[in-house]
Amino acid sequence: MFLAQRNLFHDKTRLALSVGGVALAVMLILILKGFLTGMNRQITSYIEHSPGSIVIAQKGVGNLLGVTSILPSDATAQVDNVNGVDKVIPILSQFVILDLHGKKQPAYMIGYDPDLGGGPWKITEGHEPAANTEMVMDRILAKRHDLKIGDNFAIMGQEFTIVGLSDGTTSWMTSFFFILKPAAELLLRAPGTTSFLFIETETGTNVADVQSRLNELPAINALTKGEMTANDLKLFAKVFSTPLKLMVGIAFLVGTMIVGLIIYTATVERQREYGVIKAIGASNRLLYRVVTAQALVAAIAGALLGVALAYLTAQAIMALRSQFLIMIEPRDILLAFLSGLGMALVAALFPARVIAGLAPAEVFRK
């Protein structure tokens, strides 16, 4: 094992390159995963903070984001009559594309009634909209575009005044903004239209029972908030998971190659020494162990460095681009560590072949 240590630390540049290579790969995996976790948190934050336990959508619609839901005009009254329903909170919502500073920014508009709920859950500055021309905008979106309270802002040709800034409602894809429901109806030219209903059930009733009773109504779909967030996550995962898996795969391969290459060259260079060791009676297994130990040490050091780098990079990205949320979970760190070890084990295969094929006698003839 002393040999492994010597081989590894003999050449500083090589050590730095191999540890750096693994670190880069581990960092890439962690950042990608953290990015996805952060995005998932951002896209589900509205539903998680919305009132009630059940969401009613148009029949056939199971998502909040991605599609437009339009409920039948008599849905609110019908739902209110269902046994176990305490309070019905309607919202009218629609994805819109804002042109801000020449850039397209998708945003999710929520039209709601401040007396009932469904609006922003945390206002850092200002107040909720009180008139049809007032809006609450996401704090980070406003900051990115130098918008302040009192500023005017046009949505779909209609002027609004920003009266409040909300917190926790941002995402690089779906920043939220809030206006009164009647204002949204005017904007969409859809008087009396409702997209979703949030349902508060009476205390003591079983939510699942109320849900199944609601689902007996025609033309609507009643989901628990959990089901709805799961659907939204699935929708986004479909778009992002394939490219993401591709990248993680590439990162893993690259990390393996780097460690493999370095240990391979280190072994090839010391071929003679290995031959001598073999000639004095060392078994192949011992030599494999030496090589594997080298790979493991490089991989563990690299993985540690990679985790640290990932944290730093994540902080840097979030400081520069506040709409991104990168959340590195302990489970992902474990995963990245395991992939680091995986890289080391696969990498050790490269030089093992060299050693196995080494004839002890050869070295003396050279």
Partner 1 sequence: MTRLAFRNLFQSKTRLVISVGGAALALLLILSLDAIFAGVEKQITAYINHSGADIFISQKNVRNMHMASSSLPITFVKTAASVPGVDQVTPIMYLANMVVVGNERNPAYIIGLPENAVMGGPWQVSVGRGNPATGEAVIDRSVAEKSGLSLGDNVEILGMKFKLVGLSEGTASLVNSVAFISFADFVSLRGSQDAVSFLLIKIMPGDSPVDVAARIEAMMPQVTAETTVDFADQEKRVVKDMSTDVVTIMNMIGFLIGLAVMALTVYTATLARRKEFGVLKALGAKNNDLYRAVVAQAFLSVILGFSTGLLFTLLLSWIIPYLGVNLLLEVSITSLIKVGVVSLVIASLSAFLPIRQIAGLDPALVFRGK
Q: Is 25 in the site for partner 1 (CB under 8 A)?
A: yes
Q: Which residues 190-219 are close enough to bind partner 1 by CB under 8 A?
A: 190-193, 219
Q: Is 99 in the site for partner 1 (CB under 8 A)?
A: yes
Closer residue to partner 1 (CB): 89 or 188: 188
Q: Is 104 in the site for partner 1 (CB under 8 A)?
A: yes
Closer residue to partner 1 (CB): 240 or 288: 240
Closer residue to partner 1 (CB): 72 or 84: 72
Q: According to CB under 8 A, which one of 130, 131, 268, 308 is a site residue for partner 1?
A: 268
User: Can you tell me the distance from the alpha carbon of 42 to that of 292, in angstroms, rounded to the nearest whole number?
Assistant: 42
Token output for 137 = 């905008």
Binding to partner 1 by CB under 8 A, coded x per residue (else -) over 174-193, reads --------------xxxxxx
User: Can you tell me the distance from the alpha carbon of 258 to that of 350, in angstroms, rounded to the nearest whole number?
Assistant: 11
Q: Which residues 333-362 are close enough to bind partner 1 by CB under 8 A?
A: 350
Contact at 8 Å (CB) between 221 and 57? Answer: yes
Task: Determine the interface stretch with partner 1 among 65-73, 83-91, 143-151, 335-343 (rule: CB under 8 A).
Answer: 65-73
Task: Determine the interface stretch with partner 1 among 47-55, 60-68, 278-286, 328-336 (rule: CB under 8 A).
Answer: 60-68
Token output for 22 = 């693994």
Q: Is 253 in the site for partner 1 (CB under 8 A)?
A: yes
Task: Determine the interface stretch with partner 1 among 21-29, 42-50, 128-136, 161-169 (rule: CB under 8 A).
Answer: 21-29
CB of 129 to partner 1, least distance (A): 19
Q: Is 318 in the site for partner 1 (CB under 8 A)?
A: no
Binding residue count for partner 1, defined by CB under 8 A: 71
CB of 205 to partner 1, least distance (A): 26
Q: Which of 86, 89, 332, 351 is nearest to 197 (CA)?
A: 89
User: Can you tell me the distance from the alpha carbon of 49 to that of 167, in angstroms, rounded to the nearest whole number?
Assistant: 12
CB of 84 to partner 1, least distance (A): 23
Contact at 8 Å (CB) between 19 and 314? Answer: no
Q: According to CB under 8 A, which one of 243, 272, 329, 359 is a site residue for partner 1?
A: 243
Contact at 8 Å (CB) between 68 and 237? Answer: no
Q: According to CB under 8 A, which one of 135, 163, 180, 258 is a site residue for partner 1?
A: 258
Q: Which residues 112-141 are close enough to bind partner 1 by CB under 8 A?
A: none
Q: Which of 230, 174, 255, 222 is nearest to 52 (CA)?
A: 222
CB of 203 to partner 1, least distance (A): 31
Closer residue to partner 1 (CB): 128 or 225: 225
Closer residue to partner 1 (CB): 201 or 344: 344
Q: Which residues 272-311 are close enough to bind partner 1 by CB under 8 A?
A: none
Q: According to CB under 8 A, which one of 149, 230, 233, 257 is a site residue for partner 1?
A: 257
Q: Which of 318, 330, 73 is nearest to 194 (CA)?
A: 73
Task: Determine the interface stretch with partner 1 among 22-30, 78-86, 279-287, 332-340 (rule: CB under 8 A).
Answer: 22-30
Q: According to CB under 8 A, which one of 1, 130, 131, 246 is a site residue for partner 1?
A: 246
CB of 285 to partner 1, least distance (A): 22
